[in-house]
Structure 1
Amino acid sequence: MKKVVLFALVAISLMAAPYKIGQSVMPLDLEDQFGKRSTLKLMPKTLIMAFEKGTGATVNEYLALQGKEYLKKNNAVFVADISQMPNFITQAFALPKMRKYPHTVLLIRDEEQGLNFPLQEEKITVMKFRGNFLTKIDFISTADELKKAIEQ
């Protein structure tokens, strides 16, 4: 019985661990800021992730200046983890603001799903993929670093 419990605990801890380089990433099924469902069966070349208000603002300000097709042209997708945001704040303030952006913001609303992705406090996570395999993870802070990460 102890072995079964130990195995279950190890399995659960592995499921909650963030993706690592070389690992295959499961398809993502997320809604954008308009409630439109998007399924990423094949990961883009670049996945940009923000887990905090400040990092999200940096990404959104940069992307808003780049034009509507910038992410598509660079085979990139932006995902914001808003799972920690109270629903009232999300509905009353965050979503109306996001709907003004010319670019798409895919949203993680489920805390468990957000735990699958690597993060560092006050950093933007940039993940590079070949197919669905994670090849590189960078943690960046500035718009200049973001531009370089997207366009390389």
Structure 2
Amino acid sequence: MKYAISLLLSLLPLLVHAVEPGETLAPWTLLDQYDQPYSLGPDTRVLLVASDMDGARLVKAALAERPKGYLEARQAVFVADIQRMPALISKLFAVPAMRDYHYRVMLDREGRVASRYAGEAGKVLWLTLDRGKLVAQQSFSDAQALGEALARTR
């Protein structure tokens, strides 16, 4: 038993490894709310990650008055971690409601993508990328500030 606990504790840093500036993000593919696949590619300049509902609400509020295609025009992608949402709620209510959004939401149903990035609860993690490499990261807890930052992205 002691051996198993020691092994688990020694592997913990590998499991919660946060990506650092200069590192290349590992490729991934997720389905959006329309079940259409999206793969992280070298053309993505901004990756927004919400690890909970509060973070997703910030993105929704920041994009409320923006036209369809606003994120895509800025080469930005939004990932929502929905792994903790009960499957029945997700299938019957949440994802169908997201189909009314005028932006794509990459749905991380198993938490395998969002968990790669060290986002804080209640915030949106903003990762600035250059050909797949992390240049900078910041967190937003205010929808207006997030919207203004997106507006400055060209």
Q: Report the 3-state secondary structure (helix = DSSP H, G, I; strand = E; otherwise coil) of the residue aligned with 1:115.
A: helix
Match for residue 143 of structure 1? 143
Cα distance, 1:10–1:148 mapped onto 2, change above 3 Å? farther
Q: Is the 8 A contact 1:78 1:104 kept in 2?
A: yes
Q: Is the 8 A contact 2:58 2:123 kept in 1?
A: no
Aligned mates of 1:129, 1:60 — CA distance in 2: 22
Q: Percent identity?
A: 28
Match for residue 23 of structure 1? 23
Q: Report the 3-state secondary structure (helix = DSSP H, G, I; strand = E; otherwise coil) of the residue aligned with 1:112.
A: coil
Q: Give the gaps of 5 or more residues in structure 1.
A: 1-5
Cα RMSD between the aligned structures?
A: 2.2
Q: Is the 8 A contact 2:80 2:114 kept in 1?
A: no
Q: CA deviation at 1:72?
A: 1.5
Q: Deviations over 1:11-63 (max 9, x none)?
A: 66324312222211011200000111111232511111111112211211322
Where do residues 1-152 of structure 1 align in structure 2 (5 Å cutoff)? 10=10, 13-42=13-42, 44-150=44-150, 151-152=152-153
Q: CA deviation at 1:95?
A: 0.3
Q: Report the 3-state secondary structure (helix = DSSP H, G, I; strand = E; otherwise coil) of the residue aligned with 2:117.
A: coil
Q: Is the 8 A contact 1:25 1:133 kept in 2?
A: yes
Q: Report the 3-state secondary structure (helix = DSSP H, G, I; strand = E; otherwise coil) of the residue aligned with 2:116.
A: coil
Q: Report the 3-state secondary structure (helix = DSSP H, G, I; strand = E; otherwise coil) of the residue aligned with 1:64.
A: coil
Q: Give the gaps of 5 or more residues in structure 2.
A: 1-5
Cα distance, 1:133–1:10 mapped onto 2, change above 3 Å? farther
Aligned mates of 1:114, 1:92 — CA distance in 2: 23
Mean CA deviation greater in 11-20 or 95-104: 11-20
Aligned mates of 1:99, 1:134 — CA distance in 2: 30
- Give the aligned length: 148
Aligned mates of 1:55, 1:72 — CA distance in 2: 19
